[in-house]
Structures are given as C-alpha cells and as structure tokens.
Structure 1
C-alpha cells in the first residue's frame, strides 16, 4: 500500500484478478515523481509473482487522473535540471526511467484493462495508452495536456497514440491539446466500450477481466507476447517469432483442461505461471 493507489489481489474473490485503484481524488489523482517507481515496482511484483492473470486499473473521484502534478515543474528540482551538458545527460537517463514505468504495463505478462471516468489528462493518457484495453464512462475525455503547458508529451503517448487512432487525429490531439470525448473515442477504437457512469464502467471492466481470468494464463501470456511483437514488427518477422513462441509454450495438458472446462461449461482449473526467479 502507498499513498497513490491501492492494490487488491484476487479482487472480488476471482483468482488471478488484480485491481489497482488510484486513491487521491482530492488531488485529481495527479502523479508526482514518486508515483512512477511505485507503479513500476507494483507492476513488476505482480509480473514476477506469477499469480496475476489480468489487472484492472481504475480510479476514484470525478476524474481518472489530471496527469503530472503541476508542482513537479515548479522550483529547482534536480530531476528536471537541463542547465548544463552534464545535467542534460542525466536528464535523459531520468526520463528513460520514467518512460520505463509505463512500459512496464506493456511488458507485463498479463493484460491490463484501464477504466477511465472523467478526465484522462496528460500523463494519465500516457498510462492509458500503454494498457491493453481501455473502457470509459460517458463523461470521460482524453487530452494530450502537455502541449497546453508548453512541452511535448514525453512518456509514450506520442509513440503509442498513433497506433490506437488515425494518425491525423493523433497528431491533431498532440498539436492542439483539445479533448477527445468518450463517444468519439469509442467510434475511433481508442476505447472498447462507453458506460453510463463510473459504477457501470467498473462493473463492465471487471466483467471483461473476470472472463480473461478464467482463461489459461499460459495462453494469455503467450497471446500478449505475440500481439505486442506483431504490433512492432512486420508480418514475416511476427510469424517467425510465433513459431518459436508456440514451440516454447504449447502444452496439451493445458489444452485438455481448457477443453474439458469448455465442454462442461465451467471454469477450468489452471496453475498460475511460475514466479520469475530473483537474482
């Protein structure tokens, strides 16, 4: 537990369903610099334990998150010092580590579902764009806020958003800082569904997550690896990777359990993934 979010394993009594909930509504769930390693370390802990089959990220209050806390940019923070060549070299490493905190969402060996109510602004959109799927309440909106405060967005949204939206629209959002509403986001495929309010949003997202949690965690992890590789490579390279991946994870025992559960119309009993050994 930390001051930024809570984490519940086996949420709602569902094996393998983890729920991470932002819990600073009075601060609009803004992200200060300590938020990022807290998120990264939590994600990697869930990854390494092997028990998590799917993760839902939701929030509290009126807005999902207003992004980076503006006071981060005030004062003389050493992390943001670019006054000399040496400082700029260190800034690059610091920025890379911040990026890595959201890349941990993409690299997790389980799907990550993001439930967005109200504003998903600035750094929050960087976070949402790194998730596998996004769901929204009717009042949700998405905004590349960084351009409105005189900077280019730098935590992954410019790289990921144009894979999730038509490139012209992604550029329009990046250049103007205008809001993209929930219904248009749905029509363009940025979100998978729009629900009437925050409660209905969470219920729907949890229902999808529960369905994922009943599937083979081995097959889910392999599917995510294959999808991510195909997204970032050409078809021939992705097919070549799939041959290696399938030969590594093909498991007839796993398939027998899945088929038996499907035929009997009940959830199969799958083993969790092995923990990642610590060094």
Structure 2
C-alpha cells in the first residue's frame, strides 16, 4: 500500500470513529460548509459531571479531531442548562471513590496518583490538540469544568454563566490544571482568591478578570457568536493557525528569549509554505485566499 493510500485510509478510519459516537459526548459538524466541529458534554441529567467515561472519551475525541483535515477549529460546549458540575462523585468506576479498606496505603496512594495523572492528561489533550479550541460556557461551571475551559484556547460565555473553583470547599487541592493554567490566564492574585475562597464569580467578573473574552446576552447568542468566530478561524491558513497555537503555548512556558528562538525556528520552515504565497497573491488580487488542506 502506498503511503498516500495508507494516510487516506487512516483519515477515513478517524472520521468513521467520530461518526460511531460517544457515551458522554456529542461530536458533530453543525455546518457542513464550515470546517468546524463541536464537542458537546452530553450528560445534562447529571449537569455534565465528568465521569470516568468522559475522561476516557475527551482525549479520544480530541486526538481524532487533531488528525482530520475537515476540522480546522473546535468548539467545546455542553447540553442542558449547565456547562459542567465538576467531577462525578461516587459514580461507578470512579477511582477517587474506591474503597481502600485493608489495602496497602502506599499502593492506594500510587493508584490514586495514576488516576489523577490520567485525568490531568485527558484535559491536557484539549490543549495539545493542534486545532484551536473555543469554550462556549453557559450556566454553572464548577471545579473540573474550570479545569476544562482553562485548557481551551479561547473562552466565551453567556450572561447566566458562573464559575467556581470548588475544590477547597471539598477539602482537596484542585489538581487537574486550574492552579497551573488559571494564574497565566487571570493573574496570580485573581487565581489565588478564587482557589482559596471557593467564591462563585459571575460572567461579568470572569470577563473583567480575563477568564473569558466576551459575554453574550443568551445561550442562543453565545452559540451563534462562537460559531461565527470558529468559522472565521477555520477559513485562515491551517498552517498559520496551528503554528500560532503551538508558539503561544511554547512561549507561555518559557522565557521571552526562548520563545523568540522557537518562533524563529518554526518560521524558518513555515515561511516557505504555499499558503504564504497564496495569501500574498490573494491580497494583491483583492480576493479571498484558498489555502491548502492538511
């Protein structure tokens, strides 16, 4: 089998796996004319609490969307009246709720550590997806829900949205990314206040802190607004969009000098792309560019 045939076959398999569906998520391409996919938390009766199945399915969905060319932007949303009520407590298969009676305490601790690392990796998969991920938050967003949206690239919400880092009230330390990502998004002081008090903040407070970029008047306006932004991003050069996300994340975690060196290395290769030539040509010809498909 030729490498091109094998690559095409792998892409077909990825798209087929997406169509087979998920237990806790609804993954769809709402507008066939736009290269945008929506990943929706789909357990409204449980207020979209993240179950063990959800932690298994989120990285699988993100890996599939990372691979298929028809996905150039991803919207992360939720079904029902609320975005996410955090981790499902006491559910079947939840390693954090498992009984440790009579077990070696060191073995129990190591098992919990592995479980936490797996859940961390599930949400980090959102950040590692090369395609930009936009969070569309409505209703309540609690605990692990905040971890999830902090892993997204852009965050919008509706006026009814509220956010709370709840773990301190549950006598635990937030451990799925909030304490690592939130200070970089809203500043150390704001992150410390939210994490230490467990205070619920409104959509407008979230906007003032920089947690979200824009607040919409209703969920309907939120959905329409996010779809518009996602489509606009999806129509840009995929090479440029994925490169921008990669460099932003890299620069966040290193010094300015290291970040500049990284982007210089990146662009040394990417400035020779056909997309750049097409962008310049389209600009001169005063038309919309037609970028390559990856």
- Classify 1:256/1:145 alpha carbon distance in 2 versus 1 (closer, same or farther; 3 Å): same
Q: 1:7 aligns with which of 13, 23, 27?
A: 27
Q: 2:232 aligns with which of 211, 216, 222?
A: 211
Counterpart for residue 52 of structure 1: 71
Asked if 1 retains the 8 angstrom alpha-carbon contact of 2:123 and 2:147, the reply is yes
Counterpart for residue 23 of structure 1: 42
The structure showing larger relative contact order (alpha-carbon pairs under 8 Å, at least 6 residues apart) is: 1
Matched, 1:190 2:221: no
* Residues 223-270 of structure 1 deviation map (CA, whole Å, 9 limit, x = unaligned): 111111110000111111112111222234211222344556654322
- Give 1:20 shift: 0.9
Tell me the SS of whatever aligns to 2:31: helix
Matched, 1:125 2:143: no
C-alpha distance in structure 2 between counterparts of 1:192 and 1:107, whole Å: 21
- Classify 1:176/1:215 alpha carbon distance in 2 versus 1 (closer, same or farther; 3 Å): same
Instruction: Give the alignment's TM-score, normalised by structure 1.
Output: 0.90
Q: 2:257 aligns with which of 236, 239, 259?
A: 236
- Give 1:87 shift: 2.3
- Point out the more displaced range, 18-27 or 67-76: 67-76
Counterpart for residue 277 of structure 1: none
Asked if 2 retains the 8 angstrom alpha-carbon contact of 1:117 and 1:140, the reply is yes
C-alpha distance in structure 2 between counterparts of 1:83 and 1:196, whole Å: 53
* Residues 164-223 of structure 1 deviation map (CA, whole Å, 9 limit, x = unaligned): 112112111111111111111111211010001111001111111011001000011111
Instruction: Give the alignment's TM-score, normalised by structure 2.
Output: 0.86
C-alpha distance in structure 2 between counterparts of 1:242 and 1:205, whole Å: 28
Tell me the SS of whatever aligns to 1:71: coil
**Could you list the runs of 5+ residues in structure 1 that have no partner in the other structure?**
274-279
Counterpart for residue 174 of structure 1: 195
Counterpart for residue 276 of structure 1: none
- Classify 1:106/1:76 alpha carbon distance in 2 versus 1 (closer, same or farther; 3 Å): closer
The structure with the larger Rg is: 2
C-alpha distance in structure 2 between counterparts of 1:75 and 1:232, whole Å: 30
Asked if 1 retains the 8 angstrom alpha-carbon contact of 2:81 and 2:139, the reply is yes
**Could you list the runs of 5+ residues in structure 2 that have no partner in the other structure?**
1-20
Tell me the SS of whatever aligns to 1:135: strand
C-alpha distance in structure 2 between counterparts of 1:63 and 1:196, whole Å: 16
Asked if 1 retains the 8 angstrom alpha-carbon contact of 2:95 and 2:115, the reply is no
Tell me the SS of whatever aligns to 1:202: helix
C-alpha distance in structure 1 between counterparts of 2:73 and 2:209, whole Å: 25
Structure 1 consecutive aligned stretches of length 4 or more whose deviation exceeds 6 Å: none
Counterpart for residue 173 of structure 2: 152
